[in-house]
Amino acid sequence: MEWSFSEDQDDYAEALGDWLDDKADVESVRSWFESRDVGGFEGELAEAWGGVGISETAGGQGGGIVELALTAEALGRHAAPSGRWLATALAVPALSGNEQVAGEFLLSSGLALAVDSSHRPAATVGAPEAQSPSVDADGRVTGTVPRVLAGGSATHLVVPAVKDGTLVLRLVEVEGSAVTVRPRKLLDRSREVADIAFREAPSAELAVDADAVIQRADELAAVLVSADALGSTERMLEMSVEYSLIRHQFGVPIGSFQAVKHAAASMKVDVEAARSVIYYAAAAVESGQSKSLLYSATTKAQVGAGAARAADSALTIHGAIGYTWEHDLHLFYKRARLDAVLLGGADEWNRTLADALELDG
Amino acid sequence: MEFSESPEVADFRTEVRAWMAENLPKLSWPEPPELEAKLPFWRTYQRMLFEAGYAGLSWSPEFGGQGIDERRASVFTEEAQSAGAPERLNTIGEDFAGPTIAHFGTQEQKDAHLRRILAGEDIWCQLFSEPESGSDLASLRTKAVKVDGGYRITGQKIWTSRAQLASFAILLARTGGGERHKGITYFLLPMDAEGVTVRPLAHMLGEAEFNEVFLDEVFLPDSAVVGDVDGGWKVAMGTLGFERVAIATGRVNTGQEIETLMSQIREARGPDSAALASDPRVRSAVADLYGRVVVHGAISQRVITGAADGQPPGEVTSIGKLYFCPLVDDMTDFALSLQSLDGQYDLDDEFAGIEEPDHDAFGGDPATTDTPSRHWLRLANQGRGTAIAGGSTFIQRNIVSERILGMPRK
Ligand SMILES: Cc1cc2nc3c(=O)[nH]c(=O)nc-3n(C[C@H](O)[C@H](O)[C@H](O)COP(=O)(O)OP(=O)(O)OC[C@H]3O[C@@H](n4cnc5c(N)ncnc54)[C@H](O)[C@@H]3O)c2cc1C
């Protein structure tokens, strides 16, 4: 394989990084979090960059999962609100072939995939014991889905539902009394989830291969949440190194103590290992590799665990100041820890991987 | 990011695979497990590679190499490993002494040595470490005293891998032009020179892998110096850089090892006769190891892409070793833990690792080649050694924090 970014990809990452430095500086991020109002930023983000990494047939501007991962990484680095962006990216393949509608959703980021975000998408959809919503003969959807990513702000939901025993995807408009939304507050305020109940909600058919869309959502979820964790972990590493050079104890910078240096070096190993495997998996998914699920499952399991580990090292290096609300570290700390479990934690993805490895022959 | 291989690389892979399939069976298998017995076996193989044009792939044709890019060279390594090619005994010659001579050596040195390395004629060893100078290499004491036409060298080296097989060595000695790293010179030493004594040292499992080497007034001519007199540190750092690339891309093919482990698990049963592969803890451990192998593979691809594009070995190279060593430890320990006593048989236990004894007769032949558990045991041990050699894990973390992250040295 060729593990390197194209010039276009480098340029894109730089332009997006500059834009985020300007729009999502840490003071702004904190003020959105304090007021729990992230909608304004998410709207601007979607308008400016929503089409990047989405194919033209799905209403985007082209590019693929590598560009999406670069976006996720940059958002994670800035602790910028991104639940709506991610939810739209996961759901929009369901509208493929419907460029115009899809394109509008990309610009508004008002679309979400109605799956339980504490698991990987395919885990709760279509399995026989799953309590998937059902669709009646008139196309009305009934059922509940807990913890839908960006469920509290989406205007439309792509709902995996069972119709006559098969998995289908239906588009449901949230407005109206047939859909009840119960937003939940997460420690990490850059993203939110909501429990959603459908009571005979009118829906439109989405004529796509439902299984393929859910599988795509699985791979996207694994790679993009991992890339988000990479961004926030790298930022925590930088904060830790900077702090270790200015904080003095015993008459010297704490960064000269080997325990501190080695903790930082181990974070660096986690960061570069994560970067290596995330873009490796992204390239595998993009090229339609038959083993791409192995690589994306690996990525989510390995990167999530590494990010949670690195977050704790960053906290240790900062001492008590890092433990305060006032210091910015917790924005990234909480983000990395949510990333470690969002859309499936290491154990769940490792189970997926073990199944895919066909250990029992 | 391009996952698939270019047609040229894919063609090269097919070609190498075919060559291996046709030629490896010509060797007189099985490959002996002990180092000394391996030498003639390896030499035949290296000769075949040389004649087929597969030795020194990334070396310049000027020195008998093939002058192809690092990517194809790495494809060759992958294919050789997955075809089960013999162990490479001359990694020091091919991976770091050779490149150092090619980079820093005189024309005469290049002519004298490089082709012989590729043809499998000379095995090389590295005389850097001393009893009092390990991590702190710049404190080394072996002395080179100027005499007419050359130097007289006296001192003791230690931990010298494969010195018992080697015909040449790269050697660091103090010529005294300055303190510490300012007074060191880099030499090429024929191991049969008068005054060189090699005494094997057994490693933890009892096999002689490395050695003590005593140098008693050994004469070396001026032409044995590589680089400048008192300027050997720069050359030594070049050598260590080549060594790190080799370690980062992996001495051990973890991809191959995890496949071996998985196929053993698919067959294995636990004490309750239940298939091991259905035990959730085994499944979760295997998935985690497999995941780490994929990450290691991705890191290697990044190192190789960088090298093929002519970038200097950068950050990923330094972190490669830190990622790789614990992975080998954990994989081998897990493999051995599946039959907990398997990792405890001595290497001279003739029945170690053969299937459960046949209760009727205790028949069966003693093992002549490495059994699965012995394979894991050796690898487990080798992994520990690799973590110390070429800069210990702690030293690597010093390097990452100081040179990459910019943290203070003191
Ligand atoms: C299998 C094997 C093969 C080898 N082959 C060769 C060879 O072919 N040629 C050759 O020249 N050498 C060889 N070596 C030697 C190797 O390079 C040294 O062992 C290594 O550099 C460490 O030196 P040491 O063993 O003296 O340990 P020491 O330097 O004494 O270190 C002991 C402990 O102290 C720690 N330590 C030391 N300094 C620091 C520091 N500044 N910060 C933090 N921790 C520190 C180390 O990490 C280690 O944990 C080999 C070693 C092994 C194990």
CA separation for the pair B396, B323 (Å, rounded): 11
Q: Are residues A71 and A134 in the same domain?
A: no
The HSE-up count of residue A4 (CA atoms within 13 Å, CB side) is: 12
Query: According to the model, what pLDDT value does residue B249 have?
Result: 62
Pair (A349, A247) in one structural domain: yes
Task: Return the DSSP state at B62.
Answer: G
Is the confidence at residue B271, as pLDDT, over 70? Answer: yes
Please say whether the beta carbons of A168 and A161 come within 8 A: yes
pLDDT attached to residue B251: 64
Q: What is the DSSP letter of B280?
A: H
Judge whether A361 lies within some domain.
no
Question: Looking at chain B, which residue has its C-alpha nearest residue A258?
Answer: B398
Structure token pair of residue A151: 């469920």
Q: How many domains does chain A have?
A: 3
How far is A204 from chain B, CA to nearest CA, in Å? 37
Question: From atom 19 of ligand 1, which residue's Cα is the shortest distance away?
Answer: B389
* Per-residue confidence (pLDDT) for residue B312, from 0 to 100: 63
Same domain for A183 and A70, yes or no, is no
CATH 3.40.50.170 fits B124-230, yes or no: no
pLDDT at B351: 67
Report the gap between the CA of A338 and the closest CA in chain B (Å): 20
A231 and A105, same structural domain? no
Greater confidence (B36 vs B108) lies with B108
Residue that is last in its domain, among A208, A226, A256: A208
Range name among A135-139, B308-312, B361-365, B376-380 with the lowest pLDDT average: B361-365
Q: Where are the domains of chain B?
A: 7-89, 124-230, 250-347+369-404
* Residue A285, domain member (yes or no): yes
Cα B31 to chain centroid, rounded: 18
- Give pTM, 2 decimals: 0.92
Ligand 1 pocket, mutate which of B91, B123, B135, B410 (most atoms under 8 A from CB)? B135
A160 and A125 in a common domain: yes
Predicted local distance difference test score (pLDDT) of residue B360:
46
In a domain, A1, yes or no: no
pLDDT, position A127:
61
List pLDDT tens digits, range B193-218: 999 999 999 998 888 889 999 999 99
pLDDT at B250: 57
Write down which residue in A208, A237, A268 finishes a domain. Answer: A208
Average pLDDT, chain B: 89
| Nearest alpha-carbon partner for A199 in A264, A266, A145 | A145
Q: Are residues A125 and A188 located together in one domain of the fold? A: yes
| Whether A104 and A117 share a structural domain | no
* Interface residue A66 vs chain B (CB under 8 A): yes
Pocket lining: B210 vs ligand 1, CB cutoff 6 Å: yes
CA distance B383 to chain A (A): 18
Give the confidence band of B358 by pLDDT, cuts at 50, 70, 90.
very low
Structure confidence by residue, pLDDT tens digits, B67-86: 888 888 889 988 998 898 99
Burial class (CB in 10 A: 0-12, 13-18, 19+), B179: exposed
- Ranges in chain A, pLDDT < 50: none
The answer to whether the beta carbons of residues A194 and A182 sit under 8 Å apart is yes
CATH number, residue A339 = 1.20.140.10
Ligand 1 mean position to B390 CA, how many Å?
7
Q: What is the ipTM of this complex?
A: 0.91
| Cβ burial, residue A142 (10 Å; 0-12/13-18/19+) | middle
Q: Are residues A23 and A131 in the same domain?
A: no
Return the closest-CA partner of residue A20 out of A61, A48, A1. Answer: A48
Regarding whether A285 and A233 lie in a shared domain, the answer is yes
Give yes or no for a contact between B184 and B172, defined as CB atoms under 8 angstroms apart: yes
pLDDT, position B359? 44
Is residue A50 located within the same domain as residue A119? no
- Class of domain B250-347+369-404 as given by CATH: mainly alpha
Helix A99-108 to helix A83-91 angle (10° resolution) is 170
Nearest atom of ligand 1 to the alpha carbon of B390: 17
Characterize the bridge pairing of strands A111-113 and A156-163: parallel
The last residue of a domain, from among A208, A231, A265: A208
Q: pLDDT-based confidence at B344, cuts 50/70/90?
A: confident
Contacts of A261 in chain B (CB under 8 A): 397-398, 401-402, 405, 407
Tell me the pLDDT tens digit for each residue of B81-112. Answer: 889 899 889 999 999 899 999 999 999 999 99
User: Is the distance from CB of B190 to CB of B167 less than 8 angstroms?
Assistant: yes
Residues on chain A touching B10 (C-beta within 8 angstroms): none
Q: For chain B, state the CA radius of gyration.
A: 23
The confidence score (pLDDT) of residue A128 equals 56
Same domain, A219 and A150: no
Assign domain B7-89 to its CATH superfamily.
Answer: Acyl-CoA dehydrogenase/oxidase, N-terminal domain (1.10.540.10)
| Residue A181: CATH number of its domain | 2.40.110.10
Give the integer Cα–Cα distance in Å for A141 and A127.
18
Task: Output B316 or A294, whichever has higher pLDDT.
Answer: A294
- H or E element, residue A236: helix A210-246
* Cβ within 8 Å of residue A211, ≥6 positions away: A126, A167
Top mutation candidate among B129, B157, B160 for ligand 1, by most atoms within 8 Å of CB: B129
Cβ of B392 closer than 6 Å to ligand 1, yes or no, is yes
- Please report the sign of the dihedral spanned by the C-alpha atoms of residue B1, residue B5, residue B9, residue B12: positive
> What residues of chain B lie within 8 A of the CB of A264, using their CB?
400-401, 405, 407
Task: Provide the domain limits for residue A77.
Answer: 7-109
Q: Of B287, B297, B401, which is closest to A265 when you measure between CB atoms?
A: B401
- The distance of B306 to chain A (nearest Cα, Å) reads 8
Tell me, yes or no, whether A341 and A216 share the same domain.
yes
The CATH number of whichever domain residue A75 belongs to comes to 1.10.540
- What confidence tens digit (pLDDT) does each residue in B159-204 have? 999 999 999 999 999 998 899 999 999 999 999 999 999 999 999 8
Determine whether the interchain pair B302/A276 forms a contact, defined as Cβ–Cβ distance below 8 Å.
yes
**Preferred mutation among A230, A242, A261, A355 to probe B, highest tally of B CBs within 10 A:** A261
Distance (Å) of CA A7 to CA A4, A10, A14, A287, B25: 9, 5, 11, 19, 46
User: What is the pLDDT, as a whole number, of residue A300?
Assistant: 97
B394 pocket-lining for ligand 1 (C-beta < 6 Å): yes
Who's near A308: CB < 8 A, 6+ residues apart? Answer: A336, A337, A340
Q: Is residue A22 part of a domain?
A: yes
